[in-house]
Structures are given as C-alpha cells and as structure tokens.
Structure 1
Amino acid sequence: MGRWQDMSGEELEEQYSPSRWSPRLDPDAVIEAHEEALRAGTQRARTTTHALLHVPYGHGDGEKLDVYLPADPSGTFPVLVYIHGGYWQCLSGVYLCGHSAGAHLAAMVLSTDWAEYGVTPDIKGAVLVSGVYDLEPILHVYVNDALNMSREVAQRNSPMLCLTGAVPAAAACEVLVAMAQYDSPEFRRQSQEYCQALRSAGWTVSLLDLAGVDHFDVIEKLSQDSYILTQVILNMISRA
C-alpha cells in the first residue's frame, strides 16, 4: 500500500472508517454491537466491584471518570487507566490502556514532558490498542468535519511527532502496541510505524498482531480471561 498522501479522499475515508473493515457485521451493526458489548461489560463491572461513578476531574460536563475498586479494597493493588475510543467524540503503580482514539490519548500522556508541570507520574506500562498516532490524515476525512483541526493542531497532537530520545519515563515504562488483523491497512501502518518510532527513541516496546479480531472486538474480548490481550496485560502488571 502506498503513502496516505497518495490516496484519494474516498480511499482515506474508507481507511479511517474502522466499521467498514469488520468481517463480522455491516458497518452500522458492528458499531451497535460494540456499544452493546461496552454497556454489558460496564454493567458486569458495576455488579462485581466497588464502583465510584462520574467522578469529576475537571469543570466540563465530559470531564468525569468511573473508578472501579476491588470488592475488598484493603491492601495495595495496581491501577489501570482505560481510555475508550470514539474519535475523541463518542462514548465518553499506574498502567494505561487506550483503544482507538483512546490509544492516541494514552500515547500523548507518554509523550508529555511532565517535568514542565512539576510532577513525575509513575507509569509502569501502557497498552495501546488499534490507535491513531499521526493525526494529519484525519484532516482529510469525515472525522475532521466535527473536530475542525488545523494542520498545526494535528501535528502538535500527533504522538508520532512528539517523541524525543530523552524521555525520562522511557526506561521504566513498558509499552505494548496492539493491532487487529481486521484493522484497516492505514490503522495497521500507524501501529507498526509508531512502534518502530518508540523503539528508535529508546522505549521498551513490543508489537502484538491479534488474529481473528476487528477494530471493535479487539477490545471487547478483554472481558474474557482466556483472551491473549487480557493475559498479556495481566502478565505485564504481575511483573511489576
């Protein structure tokens, strides 16, 4: 496949529309199934954990998070911060896990020079699933109709362009970049190139190509104990 710059507008629209690439269901149905899977998983989590819902971390209506604690929260335990996807619009010892646009946000956390803010987050690991790490192609597809990003904004917020060789957290943080077999070629290219860029910048990083899953069930299956990505995340946490 050639560079994204050589693609027509129609080709880019297709590449950055993950629902068109699922072999399981048609585009509308796979999104509906994904939303239902997330609702069901959330409900299961709320019935099996001690849940603190809609905790504000800012002043905006969308600046809230849900906290799920063990049923018996005594003792110490790792924290996994999950950032959902939805092209930054839909679905509204520390470890990061992000899916799709959520993987972009998690990658931006890794790219931030936290010394400027007077803090040193102890991020032990990050799992980036089917993410977008270079936003410039997004300028040319339907997603930007709502985002209205300029080229300067896209470049400033592209993890691929924010890496340096002197990231203090690089040595301590283990990064897993995961992609689905049925992600579009552009999504797969972005994962592969971002993984290589992290490695070149001195990060401890590995690439996981997950067979038999698309852009949506690649993350839905985390509720299954036997799913390889579930096992990889648990192993990453247990090694800390």
Structure 2
Amino acid sequence: MASKEELEHAYSPSRWSHRMGPDDVINAHIKALTDGSNKAKECTDCEIGFSYGLSEKEKYDVFGAQTLPGDAPIFVYIHGGYWSALGREMSSFMVPVLCKAGAVVVAVGYDLAPQANMDVIVSQVKKAVSFVLTLATRRGSSGVYLCGHSAGAHLAALMLSQNWLQETMVSHSLIKGGLLVSGVYDLTPLVNTYINDPLKMTQENAVRNSPVTHLDKIAEFSEKRRLIVAYGDHDRPEFKRQSTEFNSALLYKGILSTLMVIADTDHFNVIENLRLEEYSLSQEIINLMNLNIDTTLDQMQSANLS
C-alpha cells in the first residue's frame, strides 16, 4: 500500500510536467486559460453569469446561443482545479474553435472547497446540468455533450450516471456523449492526502462520489452515448492508470468508449490546447458532435436565415 507521501507525489500534477517546473506550469496554465477565455468573450456572442443557484459561483456562461441555430449541439465544460481552484471565468478558452464549428458552449461554475464539500459540489453541478438540459430542450438542440478536465472530468463522469428524466423531466438520451480528460474516477486514494484537506472527505464520502461506484448507472443511461477518455502522455502515472481502468470498465459494461493518449502533452496543456483548431482533441470533439470545422459562423447564420 502506498504511503501518504507517495500518493501525494503521484497525484500532484505540477510535479510531472515535462515542460517546466511546478510553479511555472501552474502559472502558465492559469494564464493560458484566462487569456483564451478573455479572447472568447471578445470575439463570440456571450451571455455571462446565468444563475442556477443562490451562491455567487452557482452560475454558467453561454456562448454562441444568439448566433447559432436552435438545433446546434451544446458543449458543456466543467473545470478542474482539484475542486478548490479555478472557475467558470477561465473556462471558455475553447469557445472560438467550437463555436466556429457550430456548437453552443456552456462554461459551468460551482462553489469550491473549503466553502463547499464534495456532496455540495456534485449537487451543484447536477443542478447546473439540469438547467443546460432545459435550455437544450427549449432550443431544440441536437444533443448535449459533457466535458471535464481533472476534477471536472470526475464531475462530468458522475453526471453520466444521473436519471435526468427523474431529475428534470428531460430524457437522459439528450446527453449524446462526453469527453473526460485526465480525470479522477476513484476518489479513495485522495482521502489521506493534502488534496482532501479542504474537502474533508471520509472514505464513505469518497466511495459515494466516485464514478467507479456508479458504473451500472452510467451503463444504464449511456447505451447510445459515445465517450472519450483521454490523458496526456506526460500525465501522472496514477491518472494514466485511473483513466485506463475506467475506460476498460466502461467497455466491459458495453459503453462505446475510446481511450486516447495525447502525444507530447502533460496534465495542463492536454486541455489548454483546445484553443487550437488543429489539435487532435479539438478535432475529436468536433467529430463527436458531428460538426465540420470548415463551417464558419457566417455560413451557419446564412443557413439559419434561409
């Protein structure tokens, strides 16, 4: 059994970057997400700060909804940060690429630890996705696609296990697929590490909120979904293991899931690079949503008006 020190090293992403040191890679990550999200707000129609709850962070931002046709797919991004950092304000960096291809993008915020524990965070994200599904129904969207990075991948995976018909009177079939990037799908190794200090999870809480615990439900509601489980080839060994084992478990349950190892990326730029059209994961998302990167917003506006 791994020691506390070994687990903390294994689950500390900044220590595994092949590009720069721990502090530098985190600062560069925040800058890339912030700059990319600021650019998105300048070049794409956006509606900022829709409230889905009472707290300041229970909000989501919508991009492209005023420009794109009602049946455009909706891409939902749930940010990482080990449930205690980052936010929706820097979660729209992929917007220019995906809106150009024809997808509405929604960036979701949620309360962070220690202000919120894991149960509260999961409940908030569930509420946010409920609002998005209602939006998708109202627009006549062709489908909703969930994406999360790191802690966000954990939250997105849990959303795949929800009975949305029971929660929102919207069929779970409206969620057509998902991209889970460098996620944690079994929380139990984190309980005795510094990562859990602000969350204060017990073993019972970690088990209850681990996607691996809900594989049967994920399989029940994901029969027709297509999932991608991805990680960077310079990511941490534990994240590689968790992603590989989670993807294998999904396949065993009969879910159409693909494991992708993204060359020359670490835990950070594996998601940052969604700012780039030519990036392999950008192309995979576009294919997942059955879109065409060559379709410009002007073309789609013309088609919608004709």
Contact 1:174 1:205 in 2 (8 A): yes
Call closer, same or farther: CA 1:165–1:220 in 2, change over 3 Å: closer
Q: What TM-score does the superposition give when structure 2 sets the normalisation length?
A: 0.74
Kindly indicate whether residue 16 of structure 2 is the aligned counterpart of residue 53 of structure 1. no
Amino acid in structure 1 at the alignment position of 2:238: E
Deviations 1:165-211 (A, max 9, x none): 78443222100000111111100000000001111112110100011
Structure 1: how far apart are the matches of 2:161 and 2:14?
28
1:191 to 2:186 alignment:
no
Q: Provide the residue aligned with 1:107 in structure 2.
A: 157
Is the counterpart of residue 10 in structure 1 residue 61 in structure 2? no
Which is further off, 191-200 or 164-173?
Answer: 164-173
Q: Is the 8 A contact 1:165 1:202 kept in 2?
A: no
Deviations 1:52-87 (A, max 9, x none): 111111112211111111662345311000011001
Residue 116 of structure 2 corresponds to residue 64 of structure 1: no
Query: Any idea what SS the aligned residue of 2:83 has?
Result: coil
Letter matched to residue 282 of structure 2: T
* In structure 1, C-alpha distance between the alignment counterparts of 2:30 and 2:217, rounded to whole Å: 39
**Alignment match, 2:78:** 83
**Contact map agreement 2:162 2:221 (CA 8 A) in 1:** no
Same amino acid, percent of matched pairs: 47
1:161 aligns with 2:213: yes
C-alpha contact 1:49 1:70 (8 A) present in aligned 2: no
Partner Cα distance (1:116, 1:77) in 2? 25
Letter in 2 for 1:113: N
List alignment gaps of at least 5 residues for structure 2. 88-142, 293-306
- The aligned residue for residue 27 of structure 2 is 32
Distance 2:66 2:23 in 1: 37
1:120 aligned partner, one-letter code: S
Q: Distance in 2 between matches of 1:62 and 1:199?
A: 35
What is the SS of the residue equivalent to 2:242? helix
* 3-state DSSP of counterpart to 1:23: coil
TM-fit CA distance, 1:116: 3.8
Deviations along 1:111-147, whole A, 9 cap, x unmatched?
Answer: 2233442442311110000000000001021111110
Q: How many residues are treated as equivalent by the alignment?
A: 235
- Any conservation in 1 of the 2:161–2:221 contact (CA below 8 Å)? no
SS of 1:31 mapped into structure 2: helix
Contact 1:170 1:202 in 2 (8 A): no
